[in-house]
Amino acid sequence: MRTELCDLLDIEFPIFAFSHCRDVVAAVSRAGGFGVLGALAFSAEQLELELQWIDENVGGRPYGVDTVIPASYVGRDQGELSREKLEALLPAQHKKFLDELLAEYGVPPLPPEVDGSSSMPGGGLLGWSLAGGRAHVDVALKHPIRLLANALGPPPVDVIERAHQQGVKVAALIGRIDQALVQKQAGVDIIVASGYEAGGHTGEITTMVLTPEVVDAVAPTPVLAAGGIGTGRQIAAALALGAQGVWTGSIWLTVSESDTAPLVQEKLLKATSRDTIRSRSLSGKPARQLKTAYIDAWERKDTPDPLPMPLQFLLCSEALTRIGRAARQGGKASELMGTPVGQIVGAMNHQQSSRELIYELVEGYFESVRRLNSLAPGE
C-alpha cells in the first residue's frame, strides 16, 4: 500500500481521515494514517486550543488541517459584509418557514442566557468566508502541521506560498477536471478528487469516473480518491485507478473516539446507502447529508428555496442549536437531527476504535490484492 505520498508525508498508510474531532485525528495519525482536522467547526481561538491538544497527543506523528476559503459567496466582492448587513438580507418568508417547522416538532426557543450563534465560528457563518478561512490558516501554520487542505475553490496564491515557505504541502478538494487543472496551476501539491458519493459538499461525477480522469489530467501531481470509500476493497480500487491514496471522512463519524452526538451515531449505524441526499439546506451549496425530517422539509416544493452561501447557514445556525438541545431531551425534535455523511453510511454498521478501523482497511486492501494476484495468468 506504500505510495509516494507515504514517503512525502512520513506515514505508513496513504489513508487520510478528515474529522472535526481532534481525538479521531490524533488516533488515526498514531495508527499510521494521516489525520486531518476540519477547521470549519471552530473559531480561530478554539482551533488554537484543538491544535495544541493534537500536538500534545499525536505522538509526534504527522497530521493536517482542512480549511474552507470559498471561491464565491454573498458579500465576498463587497469587502466582507458584516453579520448585521448579512442578516438584513434574510427574507421574512424563510424565517417564518423555519419558525413554523421548529414549532411543529416541539423545538422551544433558546433560554435567554444561551447565545444561539456563540458556538458557531464567525458568529453563525461557520467560517465560510475569506476572512474566516484566512484566520484558520494563520492559526494552523503556527503548528507543526504537514498538510493544509482547502475546499470550495483554490486557496489564495499567498496562502499556498506561505504554506510552502514553511514546508507544508497544500491539498485541495475538487469535483471536476477543470477544477483540478485550476488547482494544479495555482500550485497545489495534492488533488483530492471527491466524487458524487461523498458526504458534505460534493459534485455530480462519481468517484469511479472522476478519479482516473483527474489522475490523467494532473499527472504527475498526486491524487487522492474520495467519496464512497470505507473498505479495504475500495482502497485497492482507488489505487488501481491511479490514486496515490484515499481521503475518507464519513467512516470516522461512528468510531469510538468520535464526538458525534449519540442520537446521530445511532441513526448512522442503522442507515442504508439510500438514506442520504444532496441538499442545499445546510450551507446554500449542494452537500450530501443524512435524510431527516429537517432536510425533507427544505426539499418540499411548497417551501422556500435555500439561500446562497453564507446566508443559508446564517439563517439556520440558531435553529440547529435549538434542535440539538431539544433532541437531547427526546420527543419529535430528534427526527430533525442529522449530519453530513456519504453513501458509504450503509457500510457503517458497527462501532470500533480508529486504530481498529485503520487495520481493518489495511487488511481488506491486502485481501483484495491477493485475490487479484490469484487471477493473474500463471497463478
Pairing status of strand 200-201 against strand 190-194: unpaired
Using CA atoms, how far apart are residues 276 and 293, in angstroms rounded to an integer? 12
pTM of this prediction exceeds 0.85 = yes
Domains of the chain: 1-73+128-259+364-379 (3.20.20.70), 74-120+261-348 (no CATH)
* Per-residue pLDDT tens digits of the chain, which is 379 residues long: 899 999 999 999 999 999 999 999 999 999 999 999 999 888 889 999 999 999 999 999 999 999 987 655 455 455 555 667 778 889 999 999 999 999 999 999 988 777 655 444 333 444 555 666 788 999 999 999 999 999 877 788 889 999 999 999 999 999 999 999 999 999 999 999 999 999 999 999 999 999 999 999 999 999 999 999 999 999 999 999 999 999 999 999 999 999 999 999 999 999 999 999 999 998 888 999 999 999 999 999 999 999 988 889 889 988 998 999 999 888 899 999 999 999 999 999 999 999 999 999 999 999 999 999 999 887 5
Q: Number of helices (H) and strands (E), helices first, in the chain? A: 15, 11
Place of cell 493544509: 148
- Contact between 151 and 172 under an 8 Å Cβ cutoff? The reply is yes
- Contact between 277 and 196 under an 8 Å Cβ cutoff? The reply is no
Positive/negative CA dihedral, 309, 310, 314, 316:
positive
Rounded (5°) CA angle 238-244-246: 55
